[in-house]
Amino acid sequence: MFTAIKLGDTIDKQTQRRIITVKFTDGVSEFNKDFQFKIDETVTNIKKAVGAYLNEINFVPETIPNGTLDTSIPAEVTPTKTQAEIDKENWQTDRETLRQTMELVRDGVFTGAETAIVNLQAKVKAGFKQAYIA
């Protein structure tokens, strides 16, 4: 498994670049790599870039056993939603419909006293649960 060791940190004012030289070694082999960044790049972003590269070179592909190759692909499992999640989604859909309808009321398209609008307002109000805003 490779590890990273910072060897150098050079600022090139002419190109406004920062060059970080890192040695990668696994105890048997080693190599150096220069990473270039904007001169004002944060240390956190520099560490993320070097870490991402380290993860790439340490990646170990899944092994495929010798013999007959099973080419079937397992079906994807769709995560099931709880009834509470379904209820919340349905309530949010009704609420969004009410918001859009009330916009039409404000625009003068409806009065707001129409039966469908009154029923939708009552449904949204009755269906609300405190957990929806938590």
Q: Is 134 a residue whose pLDDT tops 80?
A: no
Position 102 pLDDT exceeds 90: yes
Enter the DSSP assignment of 5: E
* Span between the terminal Cα atoms of the chain, in Å: 43
* pLDDT confidence tier of residue 106, bands split at 50, 70 and 90: very high
pLDDT for res 53: 97
Give me the chain's average pLDDT, please: 94
For residue 21, pLDDT over 90 is answered with: yes
User: pTM, whole model, 2 decimals?
Assistant: 0.49
Residues 5-19: tens digit of each pLDDT? 999 999 999 999 999
In terms of pLDDT, which residue wins out, 133 or 100? 100
Provide DSSP, 60-122. -PPP--SSS-----PPPPPPPPPHHHHHHHHHHHHHHHHHHHHHHHHTTS--S-SHHHHHHHH
